């Protein structure tokens, strides 16, 4: 709406201000009102000459953001004032010093944090969304309120997105679905998260959005009648128990219905749980659990429950603070119905978010699940080795994961994302413990490090100072913390091996009468298709580049050949040959959890190169095409053709581990098996997959299945095993 009359505009602005004070969730003191009034006047003055794309005065935007902060998130006067001022430093003549002088350090710091997020620029080498996500979360270290206000800002931008051109709508909506909705979910802002998702879908998949919205409208009356019918039978019984309660229906969001349609490949009509019934009751905190189970008992007297669908988040609240008892029963007409049972206090937390009630209660930070989450998040953010895209994918996985609850040997309860492994648990206790994990017992039994945990498991970590993480550990874990710590450790290990490799290379080149200098290192890098000197030294250290390889290098006039090919490499045949060389000799792409190798071509829309985060897409006529994860077509392909997406990744061929079997025979001496396993696991840090020994008289025969990186490592192991007293023969199968 375009308003040209100044008087009308001023009246509307004043009306919005009164509405802001009225809908504030917090009780506002006279000092609070003065603070908000000052922020309001400052915002009106700062934005007096600005208008939005819709034509209305710009100040309507900060007022709308402040209203979301006050009502939907339930924050205090400090946050309301910060929301009113959130664009002042960025867009007007007001600077940091002036804001600090008027409002103090806390509000100034929050406004600066919001300004920093708005000014983030795109780096050509990374995904804009991914890097924005990381940088935005880094502000959590300063003040979590920055994120809460930024979410409110994004929600209002989405509510007014119609005024933007179509290309901007899709970009902003995609970013909202990718970044802001997951954060709102994790912080516990369920209503805000649902609205962000629905609005995101409205612009990214308008046909789907409108179709579901129309069908929900058409079934609204039918749902209302069903809820009344369901409630009628239990209403009287609940009242007889002197319970004060309210029963209402809550429809599922459009986005969640769309998710079910796609994931389960069903129609709208086939979704049975399009809405949930919610019972909110009054209770003192100490009686909440008792009354919840009392209501459960009354409901199940009338309606048969599904025991597999019982969720008790009162006894064990979710880590974002959500508490409720969820049950699924067979309602009237033999339909499955989800019933959410929660007290008024639980309802407030669910509606307004955990941060509101626990992070800044009475102006002091208190110990809470959210604060613990923020601390863990900060550890991951501080690990600079993780790329922005890796960080986003790891972190989003943990955002959306359902939680499980497991126990330490002492009986302490720990929450982890569903799908977490025993190794994830080790890292959740302490990084040092995770890195030194030799073995794990679950419920008293030894299990593989990759063992998936279930709620109720009790876990004991077996530690060894000689243990080091290997690259395949990354396949065993799903949590961001574990992945980042393993990556860091592997990088440190690689540096140590590279240091050894550098000295080995120095000696080898001396024997070959080649000077060890920058020129020869660069020539070697080009010859072996390596990016850095670290990669070169590392491969020498692990034996991938051996004497034979170095002699071939010395015998060739490498520079002349490279120069020749650079000048002559013009035909498509030669270019294809070079691409194949890169795939074969430098990096490879593998597919699926089993890391299969298949034929593929590189997509021209995003031109992925070795090392990029990628996915495979099965085309109809051209086989598998490899796209970058941040490819412009990524969202479209992954949302519309999820069934044709293949999990894919580049692997460094030098880092691959290969299965090898060795046969051992000799004299059966007490402790010989222990000596063999100790040498393999502790001294040489080789991964044993399987081991079997048979004895006959005073002799033994054994078969050991190993995972090794190179033949050199295996040869070294065989030599060391032959030196053990009692062993007569060691041979590869």
What CA–CA distance (Å, rounded) separates 386 from 396? 14
Does the pLDDT value for residue 583 go beyond 50?
no
- pLDDT value, residue 296: 94
Q: How many CB atoms lie within 10 A of CB 273?
A: 15
pLDDT of residue 25: 64
Q: Looking at the predicted structure, is the pLDDT value of residue 558 above 60?
A: no
* CA–CA distance, 651 with 669 (Å, rounded to integer): 43
Q: What is the pLDDT of residues 382-425, one digit of tens each?
A: 554 556 666 666 666 665 566 777 888 877 777 788 889 999 99
User: 281-285: which pairs have CB atoms within 8 A and are 24 or more residues apart?
Assistant: 281/243, 281/244, 281/245, 281/246, 281/341, 281/342, 281/343, 281/344, 282/243, 282/244, 282/245, 282/343, 282/344, 283/343, 283/344, 283/345, 285/343, 285/345
Residue 65 has pLDDT above 90, yes or no: yes
Q: Mean pLDDT, the chain, as a whole number?
A: 79
CA atoms within 13 A on the CB side of 25: 20
- What is the pLDDT confidence band of residue 209, given thresholds at 50, 70 and 90? very high
Residue 16: pLDDT band (50, 70, 90) is confident
Taking the CA atoms of residue 699, residue 700, residue 701 and residue 705 in that order, the dihedral angle to the nearest 10 degrees is: -150
pLDDT in tens, 430-451: 888 888 888 888 888 888 888 9
Q: Is the pLDDT of residue 78 over 80?
A: yes
Q: In this predicted structure, what is the pLDDT of residue 382?
A: 56
CA dist 151 and 496 (Å) reads 44
Identify the H or E element spanning 192. helix 190-204
The angle at the Cα of 85, spanning 80 to 90, to the nearest 5 degrees, equals 150
- Residue 681: the pLDDT is 73
CB 415 within 8 A of CB 435: no
Residue 240: both structure tokens together? 């007889």
Percent of the chain whose predicted confidence (pLDDT) is above 90? 13
The answer to whether residues 459 and 442 touch, using CB atoms and an 8 Å cutoff, is yes
Express each pLDDT in 306-344 by its tens digit.
888 888 989 888 766 788 999 989 888 888 888 999 998
Evaluated on CA atoms 440, 442, 443, 446, the torsion sign reads negative
pLDDT surpasses 50 at 566: no
Q: How confident is the model at residue 587 (pLDDT cuts 50, 70, 90)?
A: low
619 has a pLDDT exceeding 90: no
Q: What would you measure as the largest C-alpha separation in the chain, in angstroms?
A: 106
Highest average pLDDT, of 44-53, 132-141, 401-410, 692-701, comes from 44-53
State the pLDDT at residue 122. 46
295-310 burial: b if 16+ Cβ within 10 Å, else e: bbebbeeebeeeeeee
Please give the C-alpha separations between residue 64 and each of 50, 58, 201, 208, in angstroms, as whole numbers.
Answer: 16, 10, 22, 28
379-393, pLDDT tens digit by residue? 555 554 556 666 666
Phi and psi torsions of 695, nearest 5°? -115, 150
Question: Which string of b and e fits 349-384 if b means at least 16 CB within 10 Å?
Answer: bbbbbbbbbbbbeeeeeeebbbbebbebbeebbeee
Residues 6+ apart with CB under 8 A from 393: 613, 629
Task: Tell me the pLDDT band of 573, cut-offs 50, 70 and 90.
Answer: very low
The residue that leads in pLDDT, 356 or 129, is 129
Q: Which of 90, 211, 452, 657 is catalytic?
A: 90
DSSP of 570-590, one letter per residue?
TSHHHHHHHHHHIIIIIEEEE
Q: What per-residue confidence (pLDDT) applies to 174? A: 83
User: What per-residue confidence (pLDDT) applies to 512?
Assistant: 77
DSSP 657-697: -EEEEEEEEEE--TTHHHHHHHIIIIIS-PEEEEEEEEEET
Is 221 designated active site?
no
Marked catalytic residue, from 91, 191, 460, 657: 91
Mean pLDDT of the 225-239 span: 87
Q: What is the mean pLDDT of residues 553-566?
A: 52
What pLDDT is recorded for position 298?
A: 92
State residue 181's pLDDT score.
Answer: 87
Cβ contact 406:458 at 8 Å: yes
- What's the rounded mean pLDDT across residues 639-663? 75
Q: pLDDT band for position 125 (50/70/90)?
A: very low
Tokens of 514: 């080649």
CA angle at 254 for the pair 251 and 255, rounded to the nearest 5°? 125
Question: Containing H/E element for 707?
Answer: strand 699-708
Q: What is the pLDDT of residues 361-375, one digit of tens each?
A: 434 444 445 555 555
Whose CA is closest to 72, among 20, 35, 108, 122? 20
Q: How far is CA 352 from CA 76, 145, 184, 313, in A?
A: 12, 14, 11, 17
Average pLDDT score over residue span 690-704 = 83
Phi, psi of 296, deg, nearest 5: -55, -45
Q: Is the pLDDT of residue 645 over 60?
A: yes
Mean pLDDT for 612-623 is 84
- 129 within 8 A of 391, measured Cβ to Cβ: no
Banded model confidence at residue 132, pLDDT cuts 50, 70, 90: low
276 close to 252: Cβ distance less than 8 angstroms:
yes
Q: In what order do the strands lie in the sheet with 645-652?
A: 587-591, 645-652, 614-618, 624-628, 601-602
Q: What is the pLDDT of residues 339-358, one digit of tens each?
A: 999 998 888 877 776 555 54
Cα–Cα distance measured from residue 11 to residue 16, given in angstroms and rounded to the nearest whole number: 9
Mean pLDDT is lowest, of 447-461, 489-503, 565-579, for 565-579
Euclidean distance between CA atoms 587 and 515, whole angstroms: 29
90 is known as an active-site residue: yes
Per-residue pLDDT averaged across 543-548, rounded? 78
Q: 67: helix, coil or strand? A: helix
**CA quadruple 556, 558, 562, 568: dihedral, nearest 10:** -30
| pLDDT computed for residue 366 by the predictor | 42
Q: How confident is the model at residue 557 (pLDDT cuts 50, 70, 90)?
A: very low
Cα-to-chain-centroid distance, residue 392: 5
Question: Could you state, in order of their start, the residue ranges of all structural domains in the chain?
Answer: 6-163, 214-361, 488-564, 572-655, 658-732
SS (H, E, C) 226-237: HHHHHHHHHHHH
- 214-361 belongs to which CATH class? alpha beta
Domain 658-732 has CATH 3.30.70.260: yes
Segment among 264-268, 439-443, 569-573 with least mean pLDDT: 569-573
Please check the confidence at residue 584 and state whether its pLDDT lies above 70: no
| Residue 4, number of CB atoms within 10 A of its CB | 7
pLDDT at residue 712 is higher than 80: no
With a cut of 60, say whether residue 218 has pLDDT above it: yes
Q: Are 415 and 465 in contact (CB under 8 A)?
A: no
Q: Are strands 601-602 and 624-628 parallel, antiparallel or unpaired?
A: parallel
Q: How far apart are CA 501 and CA 541, in angstroms?
A: 4
3-state secondary structure at position 455 = coil
Classify domain 6-163 at the CATH superfamily level. Answer: Hypothetical protein af1432 (1.10.3210.10)
- Global pTM reads 0.59
pLDDT > 60? residue 578: no
The stretches of 48-180 forming alpha helices (DSSP H) are 60-67, 77-84, 88-91, 96-103, 105-118, 128-138, 144-159, 166-175
pLDDT band at 5 (very low <50, low <70, confident <90, very high): low
Rounded Cα distance, 688 and 704, in Å: 7
């Amino acid at each position: 709406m375009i308003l040209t009359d100044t008087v009308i505009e001023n009246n509307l602005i004043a009306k919005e201000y009164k509405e802001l004070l009225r809908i504030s969730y917090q009780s506002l003191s006279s000092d609070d009102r003065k603070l908000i009034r000052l922020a309001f006047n400052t915002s009106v003055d700062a934005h007096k000459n600005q208008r939005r794309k819709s034509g209305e005065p710009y100040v309507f935007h900060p007022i709308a953001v402040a209203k979301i902060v006050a009502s939907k998130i339930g924050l205090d006067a400090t946050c309301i004032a910060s929301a009113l001022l959130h664009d002042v430093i960025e867009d007007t003549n007001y600077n940091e010093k002036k804001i600090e002088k008027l409002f103090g350090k806390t509000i100034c710091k929050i406004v600066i944090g919001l300004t920093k997020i708005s000014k983030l620029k795109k780096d050509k080498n990374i995904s804009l969304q991914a890097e924005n996500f990381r940088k935005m979360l880094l502000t959590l270290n300063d003040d979590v309120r920055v994120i809460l206000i930024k979410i409110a800002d994004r929600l209002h931008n989405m509510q007014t997105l119609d005024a933007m051109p179509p290309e901007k709508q899709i970009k902003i909506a995609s970013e909202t679905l990718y970044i802001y909705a997951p954060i709102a979910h994790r912080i516990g802002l369920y209503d805000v998260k649902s609205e962000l998702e629905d609005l995101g879908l409205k612009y990214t998949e308008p046909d789907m959005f409108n179709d579901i919205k129309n069908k929900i409208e058409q079934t609204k009356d039918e749902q209302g009648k069903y809820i009344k019918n369901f409630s009628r039978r239990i209403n009287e019984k609940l009242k007889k128990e002197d319970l004060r309660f309210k029963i209402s229906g809550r429809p599922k969001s459009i986005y969640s219905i769309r998710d079910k349609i796609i994931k389960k490949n069903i129609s709208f009509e086939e979704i049975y749980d399009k809405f949930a019934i919610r019972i909110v009751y009054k209770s003192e905190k100490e009686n909440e659990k008792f009354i919840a189970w009392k209501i459960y008992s009354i409901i199940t007297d009338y309606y048969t429950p599904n025991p597999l669908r019982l969720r008790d988040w009162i006894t064990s609240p979710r880590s974002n603070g959500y508490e409720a008892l969820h049950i699924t029963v067979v309602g009237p007409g033999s339909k499955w119905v989800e019933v959410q049972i929660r007290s008024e206090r639980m309802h407030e937390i669910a509606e307004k978010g955990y941060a509101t009630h626990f992070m800044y209660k009475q102006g002091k930070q208190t110990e809470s699940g959210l604060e613990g989450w923020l601390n863990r998040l900060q550890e991951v953010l501080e690990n600079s080795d993780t790329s922005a895209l890796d960080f986003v994918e790891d972190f989003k996985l943990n955002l959306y994961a359902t939680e499980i609850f497991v126990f330490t040997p002492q009986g302490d309860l720990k929450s982890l994302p569903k799908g977490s492994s025993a190794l994830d648990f080790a890292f959740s206790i302490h990084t040092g413990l995770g890195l030194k994990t030799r073995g794990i017992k679950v419920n008293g039994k030894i299990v593989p490090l990759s063992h998936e945990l279930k709620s109720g498991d009790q876990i004991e970590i077996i530690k060894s100072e000689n243990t080091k993480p290997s690259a395949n550990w990354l396949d065993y874990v799903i949590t961001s913390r574990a992945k980042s710590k393993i990556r860091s450790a592997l990088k440190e290990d690689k540096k140590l091996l590279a240091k050894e490799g550098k000295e080995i290379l120095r000696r080898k080149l001396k024997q070959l009468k080649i000077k060890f200098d920058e020129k020869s290192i660069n020539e070697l890098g080009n010859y072996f298709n390596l990016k850095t000197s670290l990669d070169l030294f590392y491969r020498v250290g692990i034996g991938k580049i051996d004497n034979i390889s170095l002699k071939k290098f010395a015998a060739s006039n490498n520079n002349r050949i490279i120069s020749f090919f650079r000048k002559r490499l013009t035909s498509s045949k030669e270019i294809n040959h070079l691409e194949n060389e890169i795939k074969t000799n430098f990096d490879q792409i593998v597919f699926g959890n089993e890391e299969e190798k298949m034929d593929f071509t590189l997509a021209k829309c995003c031109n992925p190169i070795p090392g990029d985060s990628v996915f495979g897409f099965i085309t109809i006529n051209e086989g598998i095409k490899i796209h970058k994860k941040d490819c412009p077509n990524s969202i479209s392909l992954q949302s519309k053709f999820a069934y044709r997406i293949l999990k894919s990744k580049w692997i460094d061929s030098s880092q691959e581990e290969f299965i090898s079997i060795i046969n051992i025979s000799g004299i059966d001496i007490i402790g010989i098996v222990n000596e063999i396993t100790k040498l393999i696991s502790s001294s040489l840090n080789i991964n044993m997959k399987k081991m079997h020994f048979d004895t006959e008289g005073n002799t033994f025969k054994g078969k050991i299945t190993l995972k090794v990186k190179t033949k050199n490592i295996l040869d070294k192991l065989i030599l060391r095993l032959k030196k053990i007293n009692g062993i007569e023969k060691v041979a590869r199968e």
